[in-house]
Chains A and B, each alone.
Chain A
Amino acid sequence: MTLPLLIYRSLRQHALSTLVTAGSIALACGLLMTVWMVKTQSQEVFTSTNTGFDAVLGARGSKLQLVLNAIFHLEASPGNLELSDYEEIKKHPAVRTAIPLAVGDNFRGFRLAGTIPDLFTTVEYAPDHAFAVRPGGAFFKLGAREAVAGSFAAQQLKLKVGDTFHPYHGLNFNEESMHSETYTVVGVLQPTNTPADRVIWIPIEGVQKMSGHVASSANQISAVLIQLRSPAAGFALDQLYNKQGNRLTFAFPVGAIIAELFGKISWFDQVLTLVAYLVAVVAAASVLASIYNSMSARRRDLAILRSLGARRRTIFGAVVAEAAVIGALGATAGYVIYFALLTGVARLIQAQTGVVLDVFAGHPVLWICPLAMIALCALGGVVPAMKAYRTPVAETLAPVS
């Protein structure tokens, strides 16, 4: 009972500095865990997100841009390819499924993607997960001015079955570039936690033949999404399109291409991690400074405890334990900061990419970081504990008479 009482009373007596110190530890701990989890989860989720496709065929250009455009619905298309290219690869024996994609329009900033109904009926966006519409909805029919809204797009735009809208030209919303065609929402997709959620899907000819588009676009598409019969086939097609040909780009495998992106921006993770480590060190130093500064005021109390029979090592242990408790308080509050930050970041990532991070996912860092923080704080408590350990009882308690 004695040690907890000593720690409790000391923390209460120095409530303000305890709060400030625990707050800085919470910030450090929360930041570290957030940076770590965003880094690992986003890398894991992005590299595994392929919406069910193994490869993308597109105009000659950057593979990364092609994947970002066709799979993640980010970035502009590197260019168009002829419809005949789609027909050709569709018939290739190594290809199981080929789905054409045409982009170039939006509705209030949400991308319109033209495709064929086979995307919803023959492709699983993840193993054992097929696209489905919410009750009361349906997939669009080819040739009809119908749309199927992704769940996130529908939520943000408050679209429901039966609503109508005019597409806008370009990938960015500009009120003055409205197309005259009217589309009717016939279905809203169940959430897939993939970039498909941020897209409004319409029949492919809708994009190809939209009023105001150049006539040549009627026979062009932006990309072909491909499922292969075997991974080995991907290398053969890579050879065919990328090495032997010079007109098209075959992006394969999708995950490896995204992993390259993470490799390129790894410096950003490192900077964030370094900042978080620095915050952690500063927080531990603040524990040291806070307790050390309070030592002068507490000298008398420590001497009284010694006069009551408390041993030096008891006093030393109490101060180190107090620092560890401050660390534990901070680490606990760090979870609140972590959940708040990760929720914010996850929402941002979902809004920007459609990819959903799992805020409640477990990871060893979620217990290693708080424990390391507590240990670091306890270490920070050693210096003031040494000062407490050396408190001269007789001198401190009373003038010699």
Chain B
Amino acid sequence: MLEIADLRKSFPPAETGGARAEIVRVPAFALGAGEQAALRGESGSGKTTFLHLIAGILAADSGRITVDGVVMTSLGEAQRDRLRAQKLGYIFQTFNLLQGFTVLENVQLGMAFGGGVDKGRARELLGRVGLGHRLNHFPNQLSTGQQQRVAVARALVNRPKLVLADEPTGNLDRVHSRAALELIREVCREYGAALLLVSHDEEVLRQFEKVRDFKELNQAVQ
């Protein structure tokens, strides 16, 4: 599903405040179809950059990322956008919901740039995450836990092959954190999506069978 080889990313001095700094150097990483794995990493370790590279939001300096058989690193930006829209789901720590859009619209936008909008599927998934009665609410009318569930629904509505989750429970308390994590893993399983989650929370990491330490994975000198 996901294969990474010799991936490198550095930022120019303007962004690092000094000499060009290498943030990511991952010689190899792989994740099978439907597999769920977690990466342990502290703040500033480059794990978000790593996920951005996999998602095609950032272009790698060198190396190779293959998603569902497509070599993303050989694609132009527009093609990466299309691949992201079709095959990837992204769950952010801060949820990144569009505040001016309703719950249903936020989820519909998750498929708007990929295979096309299926309102029925969006409703169904929102029902699945327990928000069937909040379709026309706006994000600021929801609790933090409910917002997280919208983000989960948005990431999965397009039936992605791979879901990337960046500290998805970082803004939730312990009780909601556990519930949110269970929901993410469960829905990914149901939809057959592989899950790559990064977190520094041991409580979260303990729930994964496959956990990699990003410090070991990332050989960039920081």
Contacts and interface: CB of A to CB of B under 8 A. Distances in A.
A63 to B, nearest CB: 66
A13 B100 contact: yes
Contact of A398 (B44, B92, B97, B114): B92
Given A398-B92, A398-B93, A401-B47, A308 B100 contact: no
B49 interface: yes
A312 interface: yes
Given A308-B112, A397-B92, A400-B46, A1 B81 contact: no
Interface in A382-401: 393-394, 397-401
A229 interface: no
Contacts of A394: 49, 52, 57-58
Interface in A270-320: 300-301, 304-314
Interface string B49-68: 10010010110000000000
Interface residues of B, number: 41
Contacts, number: 95
**Which interface class (under 10, 10 to 19, 20 to 34, 35 or more) fits A?**
20 to 34
Given A401-B44, A401-B46, A2 B112 contact: yes
Contacts of A308: 84-85, 90, 109-110, 112-113, 154
A396 to B, nearest CB: 10
B144 to A, nearest CB: 17
A314 B113 contact: yes
Contact of B78 (A5, A311, A399): A311
Interface string B83-102: 01110001011101111110
Contacts of A12: 100
B59 to A, nearest CB: 10
B44 A311 contact: no
Contacts of B90: 307-308
Interface string A1-34: 1100100011011000000000000000000000
Given A5-B105, A400-B49, A310 B113 contact: yes
A309 B85 contact: yes
B123 to A, nearest CB: 15
A9 B58 contact: no
B48 A2 contact: no
B153 interface: no
B171 to A, nearest CB: 12
A312 to B, nearest CB: 7
A401 B43 contact: yes
A300 B95 CA distance: 12
B100 A10 contact: yes
Contact of A309 (B52, B86, B101): B86
Nearest to A10: B100
Interface of B: 11, 23, 41, 43-49, 52, 55, 57-58, 77-78, 81-82, 84-86, 90, 92-94, 96-101, 105, 108-110, 112-114, 117, 154, 166
Interface of A: 1-2, 5, 9-10, 12-13, 300-301, 304-314, 393-394, 397-401
